[in-house]
Amino acid sequence: MDNKETLKTLHNYQCWRRGKDMEPPSPKDIGVAIDNAIRLLRKENRYRSSLKEHIASYAKDMKDRGIKPPYKMCIDSNNFEFISRIIRREFKTEQEMIEFLEQNNIEI
């Protein structure tokens, strides 16, 4: 079952539980969907933890070089490229970082 089917199965199960006049998904499909949802949430949690570690490591590296890194930034589609570049340690100076933020209209 792929992610789209997982979401659809869980959604249909919830609708049925709340009284919608429909056939519920099979117990097997519900179990597989729950297992997939758990797997996806665990994977997302590991990804976020890893991302936080990368950002913290980069911030320490920048601080050690005397460059003030950006703090309290929310990760979303507008600044994902910025975060990716931080992880890859592509910014060599604070000015490079500022220019990238300005060129892409990213506020931190």
- For 55, 79, 102, the CA distances from 82, given in Å and listed in that order, are 11, 5, 11
In a domain, 12, yes or no: yes
Question: Quick check: pTM over 0.85?
Answer: no
Q: Cβ(39)–Cβ(33) under 8 Å?
A: no
In a domain, 28, yes or no: yes
List pLDDT tens digits, range 15-55: 999 999 999 999 999 999 999 999 988 888 787 777 777 77
Q: With cut-offs at 50, 70 and 90, classify the pLDDT of residue 69.
A: low
In a domain, 5, yes or no: yes
Residues in the chain: 108
In a domain, 72, yes or no: no
In a domain, 79, yes or no: no
- pLDDT value for 15: 95
Q: With cut-offs at 50, 70 and 90, classify the pLDDT of residue 68.
A: low
In a domain, 20, yes or no: yes
In a domain, 65, yes or no: no
> What is the number of domains present in the chain?
1
In a domain, 19, yes or no: yes
- pLDDT value for 12: 95
- Domain range spanning residue 10? 1-50
